[in-house]
Chains A and B, each alone.
Chain A
Amino acid sequence: MIFKLAWRNIWRNKRRSIISIASVLFAVTIALMMRSMQLGFYARTIDNVVSFYTGYLQVHAPGYEEKKSLDKSFADSGELATRIEGINKVTFTAPRLESFALISAGDITDGSQVIGIDPEREDQLTGLSNKVEDGRYLNAGDNGILLGSGLAKHMKIGVGDTVVVISSGYHGVSAAGRYPVIGTVTFPTPELNSTMAYLDLPEARWFYGATNRLTSLAIMIEGERFLNQVETQVTAMLGDDYEVVSWEDIMPEMVEYIAMDNASGVLMLILIYVIVGFGVLGTVLMMTMERMREFGVLVAVGMQKSVLRGIVLLESVILSINGAILGIVLALPSLIWLRANPIHLTGAGADALISYGFEPILPFSMAPEIFFWQTFTVLLIALTASAYPLFRITKLNSVDAMRTGN
C-alpha cells in the first residue's frame, strides 16, 4: 500500500509529474547518446592506437622500459604466450625481438630498428601485410628482410637486392648477416618509413645471437574496458620476473587527451543533470509542502515519521527512475542501430585517419557502465531532491502542521 500511495501521489498533479519525468528522460537520453558516442570514439581511437604498434599491454624483462636493449630481453619459447592467451578477454599475443642495427648496400649504410616478428601474429596486430608496397610480406621460415620503403629508397635498392645487416647482439656478441630484400612496406609517417625493418623471428634470434629470447610480447584484448582486469591478471601471473606495461604507460599524451575530452563531456552532463535536478527538486518540494496538513494528520493518528519519509523518498525515486527507464528505452534502439551502422566520418579528420590506415567510422559504445552511471546519477538526484522534504518531515509538528499547513 505504501507503493500504491506513493504512485498515486505522483499522479495527483499529472502535468507537473509528467514534466519532471520528461526532463529526466530528456537528460538520460542526451547523456546516453553523448556518452555512447564519446566512449565509442575513445574505444575506437585506443583500438587504432594500440593496433598501430604497441598492443594494449606489453610484457618485457624488468628494466626494458628504462633502457631498451637486447640485454634486457627474456627467454621464451612460446610457453609464456600460451599462458597469457589463456587469460579471459585476451585475444592473442605477438612476440618481438627488436634492436638497432646498421644496414648497408653498396657504399650506403643506414641505421634502423630491425625487428624479429611472428609474421602472422604481427599482421594480426598491426595489419603489416596491408602496408606492403613492393614484393611480398614475410612468411614464417623466410630468411629475407622486409624494409621500410623510405629506407629502401634512400639506399637505392629494391626487392631482390641483398643487404648486409650489422649490429651488436645479445651480451655484446657481434651480429652480422646478409639478407635478400623480399618486400618493402610503407608507413604513414616518413620517420617510420626510414627506420623499420623486419625479419622472421627465428632468423632475428639467430642474427642477434639471442636463442629463444624476446624483447617484448604485445598483448591484444577484447577491448579497452577490460584493460585493468587483464593487466591485473597478467601482472599477478608473471610476478616480479617481468615488467608489464600498458599502452597508457607507453603513450601518456593519448591518455591525457582522452581524459581532457572526457572531462569536458562529463562537465556538460553535470550541467544538464544539475538543471534537471532542480526541476525534480521543485516537484518533490511542492509535492511535500502542499501536503504538510495531511502529513500532520498522518503522524497524529500514528504513522511513524520514518514511514512517511519512506513514502516521500519512494515518490522521488519513482519520479526519477521512471524518467531514467523511459530514457534508456527511448535511446536504446538508436544506440543499437548506430552501433551496427556506425557513422562514417568525412573531412580532414577522416582523411587523417585513412592515411594512418584506419577506417574513418564512429562506432557507438554499448558499455554497460554507461547505463549504470546514468541510472546511478538519476538515483542520486532523487536522493538529493528529497533531502529537504525529508528534513521537513523530521521537524514536523502535527499540531502546527494541521493548524497552519506547514
Chain B
Amino acid sequence: MAVIKTDHLSRVYEDHGVPVKAVDDVSLSIEEGEFTAIVGPSGSGKTTFLNMVGGLDAPSSGTIEVDGKQISQMKQNELIGFRLRHIGFVFQAYNLIPVLTAKENVEFIMLLQKKSKAERDKRATELLDAVGLGDRLGRRPHELSGGQQQRVAVARALASMPSFVLADEPTANLDSTSAENLLDIMERLNKEQKMTFVFSTHDPRVVARAHRVVTLRDGAIESDETRS
C-alpha cells in the first residue's frame, strides 16, 4: 500500500513578483517499507517537496494523500495532530529541544501523544539503544556531537510510531563518518522495524545507500530508479 501518493503536485513561490516553480507537477507514490532518497542539486525543490508531503506547506495545485487521507484540505490543528500520529520528522538542524536530555527529547513526542510514563520510558530507552546512544540518555544536545544529535532526532522520529519518516538532508551538517553511521542506523531500522524512510540529500555517498532514488531538477522529476 502506498503511504504517500502525490498527484500533479506543484508549488509556486513569488520571488520579487516573479513566480518560481519550486515543485513542478510531481506525481509520485511511495510504498510501505521503502528506503527512498530524493536527490538533486541545491534549489531543485527537495525541501519544498518534503514539506508538502509532511503537511508543513500547502501545495499550489495537485493533491497529497498520506496513509490514504487527503491532507491538503485539513485545518491547522487537525494537520498538527495528523503529523503527530502519522509522520516522523528529521530536519537538517535544530531538531532537539536544548534544555531537555536525549531521553526527554524522545519521550517528549510520546508525551504529546499522551502515552503512559512507563511506556515512554521503555520506548525511549529502547530507541536510543537502537541508535547506539544507550549510554547517553541523560546528555543534553550540546553535550552530544552533531552525528549523535541527529541519531537522537531519528529515535524521536520513530518514537511516535509513525507510518514513515521524512528526513530533509539529515546528514548535511555531518562529517562523512557520522553520515555513514546515521545511514547505517536508518537502514537497519528500515530492515528490522520495517520503517519507511524518505530522505533528501545531495551527497553522492548517501545517495549510494538508497534503495530507490528519485531525482529532481528544477522542481520536476528527472529520474526515478529502484535498485535491488
Q: Is the CB of A302 within 8 A of B94?
A: no
CB of B190 within 8 Å of the partner chain: no
Q: Mark A244-267, 1 if CB is under 8 A from B, else 0.
A: 000000000000000000000000
Q: Which one of A12, A294, A398 has the highest number of Cβ atoms from chain B below 10 Å of its Cβ? A: A398
Q: In this assembly, does A301 line the interface, its C-beta being within 8 Å of a C-beta of chain B?
A: yes
CA distance A9 to B89 in the complex (A): 23
Q: Are B56 and A302 in contact (CB under 8 A)?
A: no
Residues A302 and B160 in contact, CB atoms below 8 Å apart = yes
B108 neighbours in A (Cβ, 8 Å)? 1
At the interface, yes or no: A299 with Cβ under 8 Å from chain B? yes
Q: Which A233-248 residues sit within 8 Å CB-CB of chain B? A: none
B94: chain A residues at CB < 8 Å are: 293-294, 296-297, 402
Are A300 and B99 closer than 8 Å at their CB atoms? Answer: no
Interface residues of A in 299-314 (CB under 8 A from B): 299-305, 307
Task: Return chain B residues, CB-CB under 8 Å to A296.
Answer: 94
Q: Is the CB of B83 within 8 A of A301?
A: yes
**A293–B97 Cα gap in the complex (Å)?**
10
Indicate whether B81 reaches chain A with its CB closer than 8 angstroms: yes
Nearest A-chain residue to B159, judged by Cβ: A301
One of A5, A297, A303 near B80 (C-beta < 8 A): A303
Cβ of A298 < 8 Å from any Cβ of B? yes
**When chains A and B are docked, how far (Å) is the Cα of A398 from the Cα of B54?**
11
A330 interface residue (CB < 8 Å to B): no
For A9, the chain B residues whose CB sits under 8 A away are 99
B54 touches A1 (CB 8 A): no
Interface size class of B (residues with CB under 8 A): 20 to 34
Contact indicator B89/A300 (Cβ below 8 Å):
yes
Look across to chain A and name the residue whose beta carbon is closest to the beta carbon of B166. Answer: A300
Considering the complex, which residues of chain B in the window 70-97 have a beta carbon less than 8 Å from any beta carbon of chain A? 76-77, 80-81, 83-85, 87, 89, 91, 94-95, 97
A83 proximal to B (CB < 8 A): no
Interface residue A380 (Cβ < 8 Å from any Cβ of B): no
With A5-B100, A305-B77 given, name 19 new contacts (CB 8 A): A1-B104, A1-B107, A1-B111, A5-B99, A12-B99, A294-B98, A300-B54, A300-B83, A300-B89, A301-B89, A301-B109, A301-B157, A302-B87, A302-B109, A302-B160, A303-B84, A399-B56, A402-B91, A402-B94
B222 within 8 A of A: no
The A interface, classified by DSSP as helix, strand, loop or mixed, is helix
Roughly how many angstroms separate A307 CA and B114 CA in the complex, as a whole number?
Answer: 13
In whole angstroms, what is the CA distance A4 to B140 when docked? 14
Contact A302 B84 (CB under 8 A): yes
A interface, how many residues as a size bin? Answer: 20 to 34
CB of A156 closer than 8 Å to a CB of B: no
Pick the contact of B56 from A4, A300, A304, A307 — CB < 8 Å?
A300
B11 to chain A: closest CB distance in Å?
11
Q: Mark B158-194, 1 if CB is under 8 A from A, else 0.
A: 0010000000000000000000000000000000000
CB within 8 A of A294: which of B51, B85, B97?
B97
Q: How far is the CA of A298 from the CA of B156 in the complex (A)?
A: 12
Would A399 and B57 be within 8 Å (CB), given that A305-B80, A307-B112 are in contact? yes
Assess the B95–A302 pair: CB atoms within 8 A: no
For residue B81, which residues in chain A have a CB less than 8 angstroms away from its CB?
Answer: 302, 304
Most buried by B among A301, A304, A305: A301
Cβ A298 vs Cβ B97 within 8 A:
yes
Q: Are B80 and A302 within 8 A (Cβ)? A: yes
Closest chain B CB from A287 CB (angstroms): 11
B97 CB contact (under 8 Å) in A5, A304, A305, A399: A5
Residue among B81, B97, B157 facing the most chain A CB atoms (10 A cut-off) = B97
Residues of B within 8 A of A303 (CB): 80, 84, 112
A60 to B99, alpha carbons, bound, how many Å?
69
Please name all residues of chain A whose beta carbon is closer than 8 Å to the beta carbon of B84 when the two chains form the complex. Answer: 301-303
CA distance A299 to B89 in the complex (A): 11
Write the nearest CB–CB distance from B141 to chain A, whole angstroms. 11
In the A-B complex, list the 6 residue pairs whose CB atoms are closest, starting with the nearest. Answer: A302-B84, A8-B99, A293-B94, A302-B83, A398-B56, A301-B89
Minimum CB–CB distance for A398 against chain B, Å: 5
Contact of A302 among B85, B99, B104 (CB under 8 A): B85
A-facing residues in B86-140 (Cβ within 8 Å): 87, 89, 91, 94-95, 97-100, 104, 107-109, 111-113
